[in-house]
Amino acid sequence: VSHLLGIKYLNKKDISLIFETADHFKEVINRSIKKVPTLRDITIANIFFENSTRTKLSFELAEKRLSADVVNFSAGQSSVKKGETLIDTVNNILSMKVDMVVMRHPNPGAGIFLSQHVNASIVNAGDGAHEHPTQALLDSFSIREKLGDVGGKNVVIVGDILHSRVALSNIFALKLQGANVKVCGPKTLIPKYIESLGVGVETNLRKALEWCDVANMLRVQNERMDISYFPSTREYTQQFGVNKELLNSLDKEIVIMHPGPINRGVEITSDVADSDQSIILHQVENGVAVRMAVLYLLASKIK
């Protein structure tokens, strides 16, 4: 059985294949063909133990556009609340003849654990502060679409690196494709191991922006925050928030990204998030085609 558990388990060729397949699906969507019969015999369960807007809807749309049968599961309304374990939960869902499971879970490694204990194809839709592989794929796909290539580009990931599965998956994906990567944020929110991944560290936002072609602004994850780690929100915004004045003072126009959800006025001001420099909604749009590609390629191995 094949899985997508993290970018760590992919190589450059895998990413190219996913992007070529996503190009095809994006073209199909742009021709206003809303549905293709590709996954007609496949049933997919989306099981979410953590909140989501973009990832959940994007997977569901991708599945429906591929004509898969879809069931949705939210832990908050399930028997998980009565103490049922993850393995029991998923095995019960699988006994209803489900082929693939898309899972978001607060615990790092939850997808890997599940893949070792159940007989289905697992897609990691975010596991705690570990990985969010489809987010990184749609982010790189969006850079490729905007700048022609990811290789050789300077990309800075700004903000709460410590708690971010988006940061880790992006670092793996960008490095595989030959991008130069730096992280920028308060020292307290940058993990010690980051330089061992071949990533530069910059604590001055202006210097980081002067260096980069692309800035990926991360959300400050208050829900995962140990309060002793964190500068105050005001201090954070002053030092690491991006605003129009700062961008206008650079001698070039950089591409602004954000995985969402945005804390408007904290890591990014509205006049930047909603500007032509921002590709935030293109990222969301591309998520559907990229997830169609991932599901299609995985399903071709289980059919």
Judged by the rule CB under 6 A, the positions of this chain that interact with ligand CP are 52-55, 126, 135, 259-261
Residue 53 or residue 85: which is nearer to ligand CP going by CB? 53
How near is the Cβ of 272 to ligand CP at its closest, in Å? 18
126 is in an annotated binding site: no
77 is in an annotated binding site: no
Q: Other C-beta atoms within 10 Å of 97: how many?
A: 8
54 is in an annotated binding site: yes
Residue 200 or residue 260: which is nearer to ligand CP going by CB? 260
Q: Other C-beta atoms within 10 Å of 203: how many?
A: 14
104 is in an annotated binding site: yes
Distances, alpha carbon 55 to alpha carbons 10, 102, 183, in Å: 20, 10, 24
Distance CA 267, CA 164 (A): 14
Distance CA 232, CA 226 (A): 12
Report whether 123 contacts 102 (CB < 8 A). Answer: yes
Distance CA 185, CA 171 (A): 15
165 is in an annotated binding site: yes
How near is the Cβ of 91 to ligand CP at its closest, in Å? 25
CB-based contacts of 215, cutoff 8 Å, min separation 6: 155, 156, 158, 208, 209, 242, 254, 255, 256, 257
Residue 164 or residue 180: which is nearer to ligand CP going by CB? 164
How near is the Cβ of 73 to ligand CP at its closest, in Å? 15
- For 195, the token pair is 């330089």
Helices (H), the chain: 12-30, 54-65, 86-94, 110-115, 133-147, 165-176, 205-211, 233-240, 244-248, 270-273, 280-302
Report whether 212 contacts 154 (CB < 8 A). Answer: yes
Residue 180 or residue 286: which is nearer to ligand CP going by CB? 286
Residue 54 or residue 224: which is nearer to ligand CP going by CB? 54
How near is the Cβ of 55 to ligand CP at its closest, in Å? 3
Q: Other C-beta atoms within 10 Å of 152: how many?
A: 11
How near is the Cβ of 54 to ligand CP at its closest, in Å? 4
Residue 53 or residue 204: which is nearer to ligand CP going by CB? 53
82 is in an annotated binding site: yes
How near is the Cβ of 263 to ligand CP at its closest, in Å? 13
- What residues are designated binding site for carbamoyl phosphate? 54-55, 104, 132, 135, 260-261
- What residues are designated binding site? 54-55, 82, 104, 132, 135, 165, 219, 260-261
- What residues are designated binding site for L-aspartate? 82, 165, 219
